[in-house]
């Protein structure tokens, strides 16, 4: 673990690499307890680099066992090797030269899961962002692109399958039951896209013919006996391949595309060229063990990693500051895929819920940073909601501003011009500026100015002349990142709606109807010739990532909630109405008063849920209360999470009572038939479970949920019912019985056990903390498995009551486990530590409890750079 005080790396200090590496020949010998790696690099000094500049290669925890320059061993006096760096003072001034480096690794002891490690007996690698330097010394930066040839050798019994990037060019048996395989990747790539997998794996195979007639062998590799549940992932892969051809004209480029499912993995998946490595959570599914949300997650992640083949791999990033170039763009692409494959409106609502729940608090707190950060200490801490999700919003805004055809033309230009290179945000935006002829310099501010802008909307209607005047005012407060506050160029989609739901949006002679391009601090729009005052539906589809301040009457919002032709805004009107109510109820709650949710709002929710003309998934979303964390963020100061939780609960009970008949009807399980994971069937299940939740709240009777649990024919229903029992009826005999039954049924399935751990950790009671403590001692809990850690500790962190106990016990316990985790896996520890990011908005007692906890943890001697970086920024 690196604990040396991290240097700050700055975008403005970027310099082209001193040395290029044209080819890499890796020879990896896997043996019990160790791996030997020989890397033969063909290097050349970059143009204009001083001829006496030493060769400095990155390392991380490496042990050098042999070094040759130009085929001859180097004397110890000619170089300096530390675990972190290899420095060779004198290398040829001109021309190419060869360096051969031998290192010895201990994959079994690698609990950080970065570099080469072993998971359940399977050797695998994770190199993004800086894991390759844990395998061999290398200029480990994304702008060094090389051709790789990889030879892997292992015992055939232990590792019958040997995989790396590209195409298989040679394989054969060796003495002593060993064998080897050689893989060659014809596309130059940065070291972070290197991958190797070796183990006793089972293969699910298929083929795909690209638009130009190329045959591609598809393989999904899993642990023995688990390839059947990879069928849906394979189907999602083929759909992704067709979609990228049709929508973006992008074909796959190698003869093989392999995916490997691994049980210990730091994130969702990794887009290594031709050899994606996945957390098995995003590959393995069957109706008895996976929920509809799991199916949707697999589809998204499979698509996302596949789409990286063009946005990330064929065109990569010049430096890690440009991370959004591949991540924001690829998230945008996977969102569009989901919108086309499922439902555009429902997809958009889900994406915006995610953005406001995860990115807004980051953008509005101490961990704030621009979509393109300007400095970092540990790059792994910048794989954030801001880079990914806000990054995707920026691409979406570009598409909205330019329109579909001009956006596609810009993408085509980008692919054409930068294929095979390591590019920047300027390169990307430049392609669009060129093809559209538009000036995107103000738009580019979105990448460098941190924070969520506010968009204030004022309306004035002059009845005699029938004129509506709308004033849009944008502003941006300077936040933790201290970046600029100049006005942005943003697309604001809008519409005018008659009280009966008719679309009155006037045609726009100078542009697209319903699109306002806001560039100034204040923009005024006038709509004349209106017979009556229309209802303004603004920021349709959430066309810009802003906090909207629209003083709109409840009556107007109720019109939009019931009738806006724009499905997204219909949802948002309802969601905002409910959000305002939850804030009001929270205030009343803290003042010791009782208050009830407005009956008209509850009625609109219930009517929407019962409206058969709407798709079930949308009706289910209409029933979802705004997340409590979202209410906390919008309150912004002196937050009492327990009061917000109580407000949500009382609203749920009141809505449940008001809509009892509707909820009884909807909660009846959807008709039995063969299970289908498609969006429509999933939407129907979601609606019925949401209704069951309200029914249970209204009646206080656990019977219906307990029965749904027992009768469930699939995991969505079973888990949905169990969640109601654990969230609403714990502690109770019914709840304990269901939890025990669930454990009995699924104890051998790791992925289902994650659900079991997560659910218990999320039960909103103070005593849950003791339960979580006990579960950390459970024989099936381990700090070494990221999924299990995320389930139990991550589950606790989202628990409004147990985590935020006023006595601070939740924070202290959490910090204690972070410290232990940090010794094994700094990346996961740092990620979990972001749970404290909104601490300054808490009421004083909890705030000082967090402060003490952070200070105590920061005072510990041996924290990783990763964890320390998050804690320091959070505390600042
Ligand atoms: N590119 C990887 C994430 C790597 C994270 C490194 N800490 C997965 C993805 O975004 O597709
Ligand atoms: Zn990605």
What stretches of 60-214 adopt beta strand conformation (E)? 64-69, 72-73, 79-82, 85-88, 97-105, 115-119, 122-126, 146-155, 161-164, 167-173, 178-189, 196-199, 201-209
Structure tokens at 432: 């669009």
Cα of 36 vs centre of ligand 2, distance in Å, is 30
Ligand 1 pocket check: which of 383, 387, 834, 865 to mutate, most ligand atoms within 8 Å of Cβ? 383
pLDDT surpasses 60 at 357: yes
Average pLDDT in the 569-580 region?
A: 98
Domains, the chain: 1-199 (2.60.40.1730), 646-875 (1.25.50.10)
Q: What is the largest CA-CA distance in the chain?
A: 95
**In sequence order, what are the residues at sequence separation of 6 or more whose Cβ sits closer than 8 angstroms to the Cβ of residue 27?**
37, 38, 39, 40, 151, 153
The pLDDT assigned to 227 comes to 87
Name the nearest CA neighbour of 542 among 396, 683, 426, 429.
396
Are 694 and 652 spatial neighbours (Cβ–Cβ below 8 Å)?
A: yes
Cα of 867 vs centre of ligand 1, distance in Å, is 18
- HSE-CB of 77 using CA atoms within 13 angstroms: 0
**In sequence order, what are the residues at sequence separation of 6 or more whose Cβ sits closer than 8 angstroms to the Cβ of residue 15?**
none
Q: How confident is the model at residue 508 (pLDDT cuts 50, 70, 90)?
A: confident
CB atoms within 10 A of CB 24: 22
Q: Which atom of ligand 1 is nearest to the CA of 327?
A: 10
Least confident of 278-292, 583-597, 662-676, 726-740: 662-676
Cα of 484 vs centre of ligand 1, distance in Å, is 28
pTM: 0.98
pLDDT surpasses 60 at 81: yes
Residue 696 Cα to chain centre, angstroms: 32
Average pLDDT, the chain: 97
| Ligand lying nearest the CA atom of residue 380 | 1
Cα of 716 vs centre of ligand 1, distance in Å, is 28
Structure tokens at 250: 């992008």
> Which residues on neighbouring strands pair with residue 88, listed in sequence order?
55, 79
Cα of 386 vs centre of ligand 1, distance in Å, is 14
The pLDDT assigned to 512 comes to 84
Q: How confident is the model at residue 507 (pLDDT cuts 50, 70, 90)?
A: confident
Q: Which atom of ligand 1 is nearest to the CA of 269?
A: 8
| Ligand lying nearest the CA atom of residue 327 | 2
| Ligand lying nearest the CA atom of residue 272 | 1
pLDDT surpasses 60 at 542: yes
Nearest Cα residue to atom 2 of ligand 1 = 270
The per-residue pLDDT for range 782-809, each reduced to its tens digit, is 999 999 999 999 999 999 999 999 999 9
Name the nearest CA neighbour of 365 among 790, 864, 855, 850.
850
pLDDT surpasses 90 at 506: no
- Within 6 A (CB) of ligand 1 lie 128-129, 267, 269-271, 304-305, 308, 327, 380, 383
Average pLDDT in the 328-344 region?
A: 98
Q: Which residue carries 């943003």 as its tokens?
A: 490
What CA–CA distance (Å, rounded) separates 414 from 429? Answer: 9
The per-residue pLDDT for range 123-172, each reduced to its tens digit, is 999 999 999 999 999 999 999 999 999 999 999 999 999 999 999 999 99
The secondary structure of 262-320, three-state, reads: ECCCCCCEECCCCEEEEEHHHCCCCCCCCCHHHHHHHHHHHHHHHHCCCECCCEEECCH
The per-residue pLDDT for range 465-489, each reduced to its tens digit, is 999 999 999 999 999 999 999 999 9
Calculate the alpha carbon distances from 7 to 33, 54, 192, 336 in Å.
33, 21, 21, 38
Name the nearest CA neighbour of 608 among 547, 542, 546, 694.
694
What CA–CA distance (Å, rounded) separates 484 from 476? Answer: 9
DSSP 604-659: HHHHHHH-TTS-HHHHHHHHSPPPHHHHHHHH-SSB-HHHHHHHHHHHHHHHHHHT
Cα of 550 vs centre of ligand 2, distance in Å, is 34
Q: Which atom of ligand 1 is nearest to the CA of 379?
A: 7
Average pLDDT in the 734-741 region?
A: 98
Average pLDDT in the 647-674 region?
A: 92
Nearest Cα residue to atom 10 of ligand 1 = 327
Length of the chain: 876
Nearest Cα residue to atom 5 of ligand 1 = 128
Q: How confident is the model at residue 4 (pLDDT cuts 50, 70, 90)?
A: low
Q: Which atom of ligand 1 is nearest to the CA of 312?
A: 1
| Ligand lying nearest the CA atom of residue 830 | 1
Cα of 166 vs centre of ligand 2, distance in Å, is 20
The per-residue pLDDT for range 374-406, each reduced to its tens digit, is 999 999 999 999 999 999 999 999 999 999 999
Nearest Cα residue to atom 4 of ligand 1 = 128
Concerning whether 305 is annotated as a catalytic residue, the answer is: yes
What CA–CA distance (Å, rounded) separates 489 from 809? Answer: 46
The pLDDT assigned to 291 comes to 98
Ligand 1 pocket check: which of 142, 327, 388 to mutate, most ligand atoms within 8 Å of Cβ? 327
Q: How confident is the model at residue 226 (pLDDT cuts 50, 70, 90)?
A: confident
Catalytic residue among 128, 223, 305, 393: 305
Structure tokens at 807: 């006595």
Q: Which residues surround ligand 2, an ion (CB under 5 A)?
A: 327, 330
Nearest Cα residue to atom 3 of ligand 1 = 270
Q: Which residue carries 């601490």 as its tokens?
A: 839
Least confident of 224-233, 277-286, 404-413, 626-635: 224-233
Average pLDDT in the 66-74 region?
A: 98
The per-residue pLDDT for range 346-356, each reduced to its tens digit, is 999 999 999 99
Ligand 1 pocket check: which of 113, 126, 128 to mutate, most ligand atoms within 8 Å of Cβ? 128
Nearest Cα residue to atom 8 of ligand 1 = 270
596 or 3, greater pLDDT: 596
Cα of 433 vs centre of ligand 2, distance in Å, is 25
What CA–CA distance (Å, rounded) separates 487 from 597? Answer: 38
Ligand 1 pocket check: which of 189, 269, 337, 870 to mutate, most ligand atoms within 8 Å of Cβ? 269
pLDDT surpasses 80 at 871: yes
């Amino acid at each position: 673990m690196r604990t040396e005080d991290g240097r700050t790396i700055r975008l403005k200090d970027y310099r082209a690499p001193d040395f290029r590496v044209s080819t890499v020949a890796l020879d990896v010998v896997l043996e019990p307890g160790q791996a030997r790696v020989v890397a033969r690099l063909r290097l050349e000094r970059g143009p204009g680099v001083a001829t006496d500049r030493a060769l400095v290669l990155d390392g991380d925890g490496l042990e050098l066992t042999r070094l040759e320059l130009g085929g001859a061993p180097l004397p110890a006096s000619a170089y300096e090797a530390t675990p972190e760096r290899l420095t060779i003072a004198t290398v040829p001034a001109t021309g190419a030269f060869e360096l051969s480096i031998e290192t010895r690794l201990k994959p079994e002891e690698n609990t950080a899961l970065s570099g080469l490690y072993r998971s359940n007996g399977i050797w695998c690698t994770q190199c993004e962002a800086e894991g390759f330097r844990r395998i061999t010394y290398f200029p480990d930066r994304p702008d060094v692109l090389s051709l790789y040839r990889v030879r892997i050798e292992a015992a055939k019994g232990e590792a019958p399958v040997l995989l790396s990037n590209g195409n298989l060019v040679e394989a054969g048996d060796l003495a002593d039951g060993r064998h080897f395989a050689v893989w060659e990747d014809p596309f130059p790539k940065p070291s972070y896209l290197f991958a190797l997998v070796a183990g006793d794996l089972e293969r699910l195979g298929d083929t795909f013919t690209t638009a130009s007639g190329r045959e591609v062998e598809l393989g999904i590799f899993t642990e023995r006996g688990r390839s059947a549940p990879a069928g849906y992932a394979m189907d999602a892969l083929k759909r992704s391949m067709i979609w990228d051809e049709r929508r973006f004209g992008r074909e796959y480029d190698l003869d093989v595309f392999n995916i490997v499912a691994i049980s210990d993995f730091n994130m969702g998946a990794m887009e290594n060229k031709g050899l994606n490595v996945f957390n098995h959570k995003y590959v393995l599914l069957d109706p008895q063990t996976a929920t509809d949300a799991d199916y949707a997650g697999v589809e998204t992640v499979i698509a996302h990693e596949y789409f990286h083949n063009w946005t990330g791999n064929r065109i990569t990033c010049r430096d890690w500051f440009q991370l959004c170039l591949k991540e924001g763009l690829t998230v945008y692409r996977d969102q569009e895929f989901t919108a086309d494959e499922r439902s555009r409106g429902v997809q958009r609502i889900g994406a915006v819920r995610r953005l406001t729940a995860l990115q807004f608090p980051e953008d509005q707190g101490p961990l704030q940073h621009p979509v393109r950060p300007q400095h970092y200490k540990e790059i792994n801490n910048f794989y954030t909601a801001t880079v990914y999700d806000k990054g995707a919003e920026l691409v979406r805004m570009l598409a909205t501003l330019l329109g579909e055809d001009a956006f596609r033309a810009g993408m085509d230009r980008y692919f054409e011009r930068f294929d095979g290179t390591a590019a920047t945000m300027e390169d990307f935006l430049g392609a669009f500026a060129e093809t559209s002829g538009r000036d995107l310099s103000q738009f580019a501010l979105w990448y460098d100015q941190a924070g969520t802008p506010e968009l204030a909307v004022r309306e004035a209607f002059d009845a005699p002349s029938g004129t509506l005047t709308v004033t849009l005012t944008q502003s941006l407060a300077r936040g933790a990142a201290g970046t600029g506050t100049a006005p942005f160029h943003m697309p604001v989609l809008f519409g005018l709606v008659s009280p009966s739901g008719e679309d009155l949006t006037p045609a726009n002679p100078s542009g697209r109807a319903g699109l306002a391009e806001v560039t100034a601090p204040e923009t005024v729009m006038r709509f004349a010739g209106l017979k009556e005052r229309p209802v303004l539906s603004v920021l349709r589809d959430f066309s810009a990532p802003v906090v909207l301040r629209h003083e709109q009457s409840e009556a107007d919002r109720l019109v939009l909630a019931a009738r806006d032709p724009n499905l997204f805004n219909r949802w948002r009107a309802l969601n905002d109405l409910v959000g305002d109510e939850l804030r009001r109820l929270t205030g009343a709650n803290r003042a010791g008063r009782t208050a009830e949710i407005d009956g008209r709002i509850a009625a609109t929710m219930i009517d929407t849920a019962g409206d058969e003309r709407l798709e079930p998934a949308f009706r289910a979303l209409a029933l979802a209360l705004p997340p409590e964390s979202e209410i906390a963020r919008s309150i912004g100061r002196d937050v009492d999470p327990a009061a917000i939780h109580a407000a949500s609960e009382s609203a749920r009970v009141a809505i449940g009572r008001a809509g009892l008949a509707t909820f009884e009807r909807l909660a009846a399980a959807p008709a039995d038939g063969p299970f289908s994971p498609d969006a429509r069937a999933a939407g129907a299940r979601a609606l019925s479970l949401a209704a069951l939740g309200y029914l249970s709240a209204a009646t206080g009777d656990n019977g219906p949920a307990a029965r749904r649990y027992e009768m469930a024919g699939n995991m969505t229903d079973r888990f949905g019912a169990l969640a109601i029992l654990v969230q609403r009826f714990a502690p109770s005999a019914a709840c304990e019985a269901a939890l025990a039954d669930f454990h009995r049924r699924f104890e051998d399935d790791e992925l289902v056990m994650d659900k079991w751990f997560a659910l218990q950790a999320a039960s909103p009671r103070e005593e849950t903390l003791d339960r979580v403590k006990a579960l950390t001692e459970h024989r099936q809990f381990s700090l070494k498995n990221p999924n299990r850690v995320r389930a139990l500790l991550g589950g606790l962190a989202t628990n409004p009551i147990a985590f935020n106990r006023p006595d601070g016990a939740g924070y202290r316990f959490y910090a204690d486990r972070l410290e232990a985790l940090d010794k094994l896996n700094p990346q996961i520890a740092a990620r979990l530590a972001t749970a404290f990011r909104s601490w300054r908005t808490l009421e004083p007692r909890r705030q000082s409890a967090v402060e003490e906890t952070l200070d105590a943890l920061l005072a510990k001697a041996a924290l990783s750079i990763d964890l320390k970086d998050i804690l320091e920024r959070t505390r600042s």
